[in-house]
Structure 1
């Protein structure tokens, strides 16, 4: 076979079905688990004929279509596995509604290098200022970059740890949360944690320290975290782990949701 050999057209049998060669190709795609090649085979052949592609070009288009589709499926699996409670993307964040947030700073965090370095991220601001949107949007971008991400609320994680402790599965659960490349904790500081819950959460932080990244969204500044973590030493240790070599984005206190509601009422 030479580089100038042309691609033959798929031939149809008299009854309108595939001929033996085309049927064998489809069967091979099934056996080799190449669903994109199987589904797009006829269309790619016709494109190759119109473009007068040689066999190498035809094969390249077939394999490229399969690789691209697999990459998209992989991204979708990683995003689903992150367990985001609602879809949010950084591209949809309204920077015009919150001038406290700089797009350059946020866009830099969609690159996974800070996660691979084990750096933390803190999103601090009032309710309705876009913290959760940024947390989920950044987490989605990191998952689509090929890393394992997990999203949960802080209360949800603490409750899971308490249940695991009761079931004598605490070590296993902590190790599970230690394996994610990025752990996204929403609603951090919304609820006061008793000493037991705070200590369990701290164990997860210790498991991930400087190896795996944690991103938190909190409506309280660092100086008020002692209301959530009543043990002063424990609070200081948690703040230290979430700020050391980390990124801090302050989203302010003017609620975007409230401003949007007021603007809609005024317009009405």
Structure 2
């Protein structure tokens, strides 16, 4: 069956909206120029919504978190102003990395996804992964060509979110691939990374102190390091559900690791 002229011209959004537009044009006595402008605007808006949907699907974000949904009052050590400034996405334009350090449950993933969502809405490509998933995908590639293909998958997006750094100790091969990825993105794309481990412990994480130093040198050269020294949201919610009282304070992550790496971590 022959495709309609709308499909041939890729005007699929206009095809759906046209009957309603024609009815409004007749009712409100639009000029031909007004009708044409409304028709073209409808098609452009439809294309943008489809593009956002494609980018969102490709990003594999675990949730639809926003900065507006983050409870800054629960984490007083964290500067809301600083996060709002990052949300203007200048870090994407300058290929600056963002490193969020803190104990489990303090909102690191929420903030990383919120910033990634801002980037998506603004038209940037995004990909979310955990370090464990990333390491497994690269180390299980069956031949060098597949390794290069998978590396390109993580190198290409404007913003790469690497969550849960510190939960998995990498093999020598995985550590080398992680280093290659950070090196390839250095000054070419932004990384948003979350970790519950101070930089001083990355030698253990990678199984190689020299490699860890070289990786951190590239990761932190152009980076915003944000330490979240606070309580766990999950523990708070669990305590409130069970007893209706706030959760006790948890041990906080020391910022000494950041200082050891030569970066002033601040909140």
Task: Give the alignment's TM-score, normalised by structure 1.
Answer: 0.83
SS of the equivalent of 2:68 reads helix
Corresponding residue for residue 169 of structure 2? 192
1:41 aligns with 2:12: no
Q: Is the 8 A contact 1:121 1:242 kept in 2?
A: no
Separation of aligned partners in 2, 1:51 and 1:102 = 51
SS of the equivalent of 1:87 reads coil
Corresponding residue for residue 83 of structure 2? 106
- Find the partner of 1:128 among 95, 105, 122: 105
Separation of aligned partners in 1, 2:119 and 2:158 = 9
* Over 4 Å off, 4+ runs: none
Corresponding residue for residue 65 of structure 1? 42
Larger radius of gyration: 1
C-alpha displacement of 1:27: 4.2
1:119 aligns with 2:66: no
1:17-46 per-position Cα deviation (integer Å, ceiling 9, x unaligned): xxxxxxxxx943243222222222122223
Separation of aligned partners in 2, 1:56 and 1:46 = 16
Q: How does 1:59-208 map to 2 (within 5 A)?
A: 59-164=36-141, 166-168=142-144, 169-208=146-185
Separation of aligned partners in 2, 1:261 and 1:87 = 22
Separation of aligned partners in 1, 2:94 and 2:113 = 20
Q: How many residues align?
A: 242
Task: Give the alignment's TM-score, normalised by structure 2.
Answer: 0.83
